[in-house]
Amino acid sequence: MKRHSDKPIKLTEVCLRDGSHVVRHQYSVEQVVTVAKALDDAGVPYIEVSHGDGLGGSTLQYGKSLVDEMTLIEEASKVCTNAKISTLLLPGIGTVHDLREAYKRGAGLVRVATHVTEADVAEQHISFARELGMEVHGFLMMAHSAPVSKLVEQANLMEQYGAGAVYITDSAGALLPSEVKERVKALRESLNIEIGFHAHNNLSLAVANTLVAIEEGATRIDGSVRCLGAGAGNTQTEVLVAVLNRMGMNLGIDLYKIMDIAEEIIGPILPSSQEIKKGSLTLGYAGVYSSFLLFAERAGKKYGIDPRDILIELGRRKAVGGQEDMIVDVTSELVKQKVEVINR
Ligand SMILES: C[C@H](O)CC(=O)C(=O)O
Ligand SMILES: [Mn+2]
């Protein structure tokens, strides 16, 4: 592969953050410590730890965590000798106070995440993280939903605020390879900082899209062991490591060790296998935020509505992360429509 960047590729492992959605934020200290220690030993450079919706996400709206995320960050950082602990912050859910606390407990990197059109809400958090001495990256979510020119404009804002990298975050797992290529290329031509890519595997394109992103010049890549992440999960780390090794690229991650973590440590944690089923496929097809899936399935079951209809309607309304309350609104409207049809 001929890459458009000669910088090394650095992987952030997100099974302890995006994967938190899958376990409904019920990670125990023991699970987090075991996973973090093993990932560190396998050579993973960044391990992200927090509630799935980032710092401060443990609420009734997003789901309460079993263990306070500051404790998880602290315990994970104690057992890592080389890996840096990363965390995620969505301004409005997490605050600068949360950020200061996460830093004190051992987080060395924060990814400040906003909807793809709302980078301006990240300014304070990005500058504050820099003042603390943290590494800080911008994370533009639902990147499929805005024109490329908008993505470029918003990424430039994050660069101006002081981010060291900006991620194209395919929250819905909706981007096609050509669309990833177009976006990475546009950012490469406009930014002076690193470009990152975060995928969801809802259309079975996560590894392929990640390869396209790397080829086009992305150097910050997210992976999740055993695909543990919202919807159909993220780019499967152990698969990506194997594929990149075959292509002559070494991420510094031990292939056998990462395979063993997938099988022996993450396998038993998985509530069910991370397959692409009709629900997750609909996320990618309709361009819906991946962490909405479990909420839509729950609402669908409770009110007798096909979760795919809920997701399609959420996609039509262009619901963004943070609008979990819309899932119940949409479901009740669909129930009303169903009743009207029956009574006709
Ligand atoms: C808060 C979200 O889960 C962040 C993320 O991983 C995504 O948008 O994808
Ligand atoms: Mn994600």
Q: What pLDDT is recorded for position 27?
A: 98
Which ligand neighbours the alpha carbon of 139 most closely? 1
Residue 313 lies in a domain: yes
CA distance 59 to 95: 14
Q: What pLDDT is recorded for position 264?
A: 98
Number of domains comprising the chain: 2
Same domain, 262 and 124: yes
- State both tokens at 181: 């290529």
Question: Does 324 sit in the ligand 1 pocket, CB within 6 Å?
Answer: no
Name residue 280's amino acid.
S
Provide the mean pLDDT of the chain: 97
Beta strands per DSSP E along the chain: 10-13, 46-48, 84-89, 107-115, 135-141, 165-169, 194-198, 220-223
Same domain, 135 and 238: yes
Name residue 20's amino acid.
S
Residue 2 lies in a domain: no
107: which strand partners?
A: 85
Same domain, 265 and 296: no
3-state secondary structure of 142: coil
The terminus-to-terminus CA distance of the chain in angstroms comes to: 61
List Cα–Cα distances, 77 to 14, 165, 204, in angstroms. Answer: 15, 22, 32
Same domain, 181 and 328: no
Q: What's CA 157's distance to the chain center, in Å?
A: 21
- State both tokens at 9: 């590729």
Residue 21 catalytic? yes
**What's the predicted TM-score (pTM) here?**
0.97
The count of other CB atoms within 10 Å of the CB of residue 18 is: 27
Same domain, 308 and 258: no
166: which strand partners?
A: 138, 195
Query: Can you tell me which residue has the tokens 């609104």?
Result: 329
- Where among 239, 269, 299 does a domain terminate? 269
3-state secondary structure of 249: coil
Q: Mean per-residue pLDDT for 256-271?
A: 97
| % of the chain beyond a pLDDT of 90 | 98
Q: Could you tell me the pLDDT band of residue 249, with boundaries at 50, 70 and 90?
A: very high
Q: What pLDDT is recorded for position 266?
A: 98
Question: Does 169 sit in the ligand 1 pocket, CB within 6 Å?
Answer: yes
Same domain, 262 and 296: no
Same domain, 236 and 295: no
ipTM of the complex: 0.99
Domain with 331 in it: 291-343
Mark the binding-site residues, compressed into ranges.
Answer: 17-18, 171, 198, 200, 289
Question: Does 141 sit in the ligand 1 pocket, CB within 6 Å?
Answer: yes
